[in-house]
Amino acid sequence: MIISLPRRLLLAGVALAAAQAAQAQEVTFKIAHFLPAVATTQKQVLQPWCDEMGQLSNGRIKCQFYPSMQLGGTPAQLTDQVKNGVADIVWTAPGYSTGRFPKTEALELPGVLPLGGLSGGRAVWDFYGQQLKDEYKDFKVLAMHGDGGMNIHTAGKPLATAADFNGIKLRSPNRTIARTLKALGATPVAMPPAQVTEAISKGVVDGASAVWEVMLPTKLDEVTKYHFETPAERPVMGATILVVLMNKQKYESLPADLKAIIDKTSGLALVERYGKAWDEASIAARNKVKATPGHTLTVVSPGNYDAILKQLEVVEKEWLSDAKQKNINGEALVAAAREAARKQKN
């Protein structure tokens, strides 16, 4: 069939117009998370990240934030919110959805990750690339990082040895840390982050497993006095893994140039943005608390810490048993996690 020149030009014009419309497409991402807007994740990481994407896209990418679960639900439901399109992007902890991401739990075990947001984040991202992509196949994973390593903050009792944990009630952020606290003789109590400060002030729990970064935004420093820290040169006693997930269909619906901007600014670049911000916020919070009268910071001695890690070997054994029941090669995952961490020390 021969098409006349005018019709050819018309079809070409339609195609060009469609391409231009795609290139001119604007998008506003709905971003949800469980902490206040002043927290590091939004103020120092996600907002600057959105600003960078806005600049690279000439204003075509914008973000609308919904902190403190403003879209409703609980932190454990954030993964479903992004999967179902309630939010376009979420920042959450996979461990809040107990049992849903079992392979990820290898990173939360005692004695695995290095201390610190940047080194820990790089190790987590390395491990994700090698071992976890199938576990997150329903999402576009923009970043995965650690929380820098757990500390214990208590209102009325200082901690320095494993024996000091006996009989106290501590808030735990995930199943792995709950097992860790239980192995030390404490009673773990699960609750959303927004409830922790009030729970401590009312004596519902004696303290919490929490990183320095979260202390000031949640005002944990106002209800705790004693702060238990692991030695800087040793692997952490446990961690909470955190992840930035995007709705897969939303990502696929974007024009190629906007996808390219997301890809350029996420992944390791976003992980390192998190790590640097986490370390800066943690140092600032620690210094503030240390300088505040009435607070006591205790860095566990190497000997006591060795005894604690020895007592916590049961946590890894329990996790390996669970993994075996799910036909997961737990030994290989733990070995890979430790190798990813080791590479950050070289």
Same domain, 56 and 193: no
pLDDT at position 10 over 90: no
> CA distances (Å), 150 to each of 142, 227, 264, in order?
24, 11, 31
Q: Is residue 3 part of a domain?
A: no
Distance CA 62, CA 58 (A): 10
Query: pLDDT-derived band of residue 279, with 50, 70 and 90 as boundaries?
Result: very high
Q: What is the pLDDT of residue 2?
A: 46
Tell me if 85 sits within 8 A of 250, measured CB to CB.
Answer: yes
How far is the C-alpha of 143 from the C-alpha of 163, rounded, in Å? 37
CB 162 within 8 A of CB 185: yes
Domain that holds residue 37: 26-146+240-281
Rounded to a whole number of angstroms, the CA Rg of the chain reads: 23
User: Is the domain of 207 the same as that of 272?
Assistant: no
Please state the domain count of the chain: 2
Q: Round to whole Å and give the CA distance between 126 and 336.
A: 10
pLDDT digits (tens, 9 = 90+) for 228-262: 999 988 999 999 999 999 999 999 999 999 999 99
Q: How many CB atoms lie within 10 A of CB 296?
A: 12
Task: Please say if the pLDDT value at position 222 is more than 50.
Answer: yes
50 and 172 within one domain: no
Q: Do residue 162 and residue 178 come from a single domain?
A: yes
Distance CA 119, CA 132 (A): 19
Is 5 part of any domain? no
Tell me: do 300 and 174 sit in the same domain. Answer: yes
Write out pLDDT tens, residues 185-212.
999 999 988 899 999 999 999 999 999 9
Residues 100 and 44 in one domain: yes
Q: Are residues 222 and 314 in the same domain?
A: yes
Contact 168, 207 (CB under 8 A): yes
Looking at the structure, do residues 102 and 174 belong to the same domain, yes or no? no
pLDDT in tens, 18-77: 445 445 799 999 999 999 999 999 999 999 999 999 999 999 999 999 999 999 999 999
69 found inside a domain: yes
Place 333 in a pLDDT band, splitting at 50, 70 and 90.
very high
The whole-model pTM stands at: 0.91
Considering the domain architecture, whether residues 176 and 324 belong to the same structural domain is answered as yes
134 within domain boundaries:
yes
Is the domain of 178 the same as that of 215? yes
- In this prediction, residue 192 carries a pLDDT of 85
C-alpha closest to that of 52 among 263, 344, 220, 203: 263
Burial of 299 (0-12, 13-18, 19+ CB in 10 A): middle
Would you state the pLDDT for residue 185? 97
- What distance, in Å, lies between the first and last C-alpha atoms of the chain? 67
Is a pLDDT exceeding 70 seen at residue 3? Answer: no
Residues 90, 120: one domain? yes
For the chain, give the number of residues.
346
DSSP code string of 7-21: HHHHHHHHHHHHHHH
Q: Has residue 1 got a pLDDT over 70?
A: no
